[in-house]
Structures are given as C-alpha cells and as structure tokens.
Amino acid sequence: MLIEPDSIAVLSASNREELQRMQLLRGLLTEIYVILVIPDRKKSTIELAHLLLPRFLSQKESDYTDLKIVLNKMYINSQYSHDRELFQEL
C-alpha cells in the first residue's frame, strides 16, 4: 500500500466494540498520522485508543473545535515540511 507523506486519518469509533475492531488496522496505520474520535473518556477506552498510536484524541460528544485546530496545524506543518524538502532538492 502506497502512503503519501504526511497522510492523516481521522477515525471515529461510535462505541467501544468498534474501537476494538479498529485494532485490526494497527499494522496499516504506522506510516500515517492518526486522529481518533473516541466514544467516551473511560480509562479503559483511552488505553485501548492509545494502542492505535494516535497523534490526537477527541471525544464524540465534542463540538470538534479542538479537532479543527489540530488538523489545521497538521496541514500547516505538512506544507512547511513539503516546502523544505523542495528547497533541499534545489
């Protein structure tokens, strides 16, 4: 599977069972930035979520303002990284 540099996946688990099924994707998610929306803030849910190595966790009851800020920063950083790579090639 070909992954573009600085790829971002936003995954949303509507319940704990769905989050458990997402664990099957762990091997595919190592090369990309993962943002994970989890169903609750229970310790066991957060522990399970961290197995997917997310860059950011949000909660499904959120208004997603925090998610918007994080995605914007990740986009800006990826543009900076891309521009720097182009400059180094010259």
DSSP per-residue codes, 31-89: TSEEEEEES---HHHHHHHHTT--SEEEETTS-SHHHHHHHHHHHHHHHHHHHHHHHHH
Residue 47 domain flag:
yes
Residue 66 domain flag:
yes
Identify the residue with better confidence: 25 or 1.
Answer: 25
Residue 85 domain flag:
yes
Tally the domains of the chain.
Answer: 1
Identify the residue with better confidence: 69 or 29.
Answer: 69
Which residues span the domain enclosing 64? 8-89
Residue 24 domain flag:
yes
Reported as a single tens digit per residue, the pLDDT across 30-84 is 888 999 999 999 999 999 999 999 999 999 898 999 999 999 998 888 777 656 6
Residue 60 domain flag:
yes
Residue 1 domain flag:
no
Residue 13 domain flag:
yes
